[in-house]
Amino acid sequence: MTLAGLRIDVDTLRGTRIGVPNLIDLLARYHVRASFFFAVGPDNMGRHLWRLVRPTFLIKMLRTRAASLYGWDILKRGTLVPGPVIGKRYPGPIREAAEAGHEVGLHAWDHHHWQARVERMDQHAVTGQIQKGYDLLTDILGRSPNCAAAPAWRVTPEALQALDQFPFRFLSDCRGQSMFRPVVDGRQLSHVQIPTTLPTYDELIGLECTAETYNDHLLEMIQPEILNVLTIHAEAEGISCLPLFRDFLDKARQRDIAFKPLGDILSQTQKIGTSIIQQSTVAGRDGWIACQGEISEQFNSTGNSANDE
C-alpha cells in the first residue's frame, strides 16, 4: 500500500457552502479521511478577480452592459463592500468536516490579503491575521485547531516566526519533498512542515495534461517510500472537477494508494530533517511560492540528532 497525504484548501464562501459538503459525501463513500484547511474570514477573492480585469476588458464590459448579464455580485465581492465573513455565514460545513472525522486546520483569516501582502507584513501584522482566524475557527469547532496551511504557499521569515508562536502540531506552508523543521536566521523553528509534494490541478491542466490524461499523470507521481502530499481545492475538485476527482479516487484505489490526513502521515514518520525555506516559482502558477531548500541534517521526531547511519 502506498500512503499519500490529502490536503483540501477551502478559500471562498462558495467552496465552503458547496464544495465542502460535496467532498465530505464523496470521501465518505471511499472511506477516505483528509485534512481540510479553511479560510474563515472575509471572502475578498473578488479583489483577485479585479487584478485579472484589464482596462480594455472593463471598457468592453461597460459597453456591452455585461453586468446586467452576469451580475455585479462576483466583482463587487470584497471590492466595494467588505466580503462576507465565511466562518460566520457558513460555520456548518466546517463543523461537519470535523464531525466526519477529517482533520481541520486554519488556512487563513483573509486569504486574498495574505496572498497579496504577506511579503509586506511584519511579524505583528501576520500574528494579527492568524489570531483572528484561529479564534473564529476555535469558536466554530469548540476546540482550537492544531494545524495550519498558509494561503497560496506563501510564507516569509516573519510569517514563519509568527506561526511558530501558536500551539500547532504541524504546518503545511510550502512545496517540498520531505518533512522538516525550518531554519530561520540560523534558528530552528519548533513546528514541523509537511510540504505539498505534488502539483495542483490548475498547474497541470492545459499545460502538461488534458482532463483525459490528468488523473493517470498525477497518480504516476505518487510513489511508495517517498512523501506524497496532494493539495486539492474545494472550489475546483469539490465543484466543477468533482467527477474528475471521483475517477481519481477510483483509480487510486485500483493502485492501492491510501489517502490520509497529514497528521496521520506525520505520526508514521520517523525522521524529520531541517531545511531553509526559500522563494521559488512553479510552472503554471503566477508569482512566487515558498519552497523547501536544501536538507541540512536529519533529526528524529523528538528533535534529537539521529544522523548516525
Q: What residues line the site for Zn ion (CB under 5 A)?
A: 9, 11, 151
How many other CB atoms are found less than 10 A from the CB of residue 172? 26
Q: Which is nearer to Zn ion, 16 or 275 (CB)?
A: 16
Q: How far is the C-alpha of 289 from the C-alpha of 286, rounded, in Å?
A: 9
The DSSP string of 55-120 is HHHHHHHHHTTHHHHH-SHHHHBTTTBPPPBHHHH-HHHHHHHHHTT-EEEEEESSHHHHHHHGGG
CB of 247 to Zn ion, least distance (A): 24
CB of 134 to Zn ion, least distance (A): 17
CB of 183 to Zn ion, least distance (A): 25
Residue 29 per-residue DSSP state: H
Q: Which is nearer to Zn ion, 172 or 197 (CB)?
A: 172
Query: Vertex 214, ends 249 and 115: CA angle to 5°?
Result: 90
Q: How far is the C-alpha of 49 from the C-alpha of 261, rounded, in Å?
A: 31
Residue owning grid cell 453586468: 67
SS3 211: coil
Q: Which is nearer to Zn ion, 107 or 260 (CB)?
A: 107
CB of 49 to Zn ion, least distance (A): 15
CB of 263 to Zn ion, least distance (A): 19
CB of 132 to Zn ion, least distance (A): 16
Q: Which is nearer to Zn ion, 114 or 214 (CB)?
A: 114
* Contacting residues for 235 by C-beta, under 8 A, at least 6 apart: 10, 11, 12, 14, 15, 19
Q: Which is nearer to Zn ion, 112 or 191 (CB)?
A: 112
Q: Are the C-beta atoms of 137 and 145 separated by less than 8 Å? A: yes
CB of 41 to Zn ion, least distance (A): 12
Cell numbers found for residue 14: 462558495
Q: Which is nearer to Zn ion, 15 or 273 (CB)?
A: 15
Q: Which is nearer to Zn ion, 193 or 272 (CB)?
A: 193
Listed residue (308, 283, 133, 121) closest to 202, CA to CA: 283
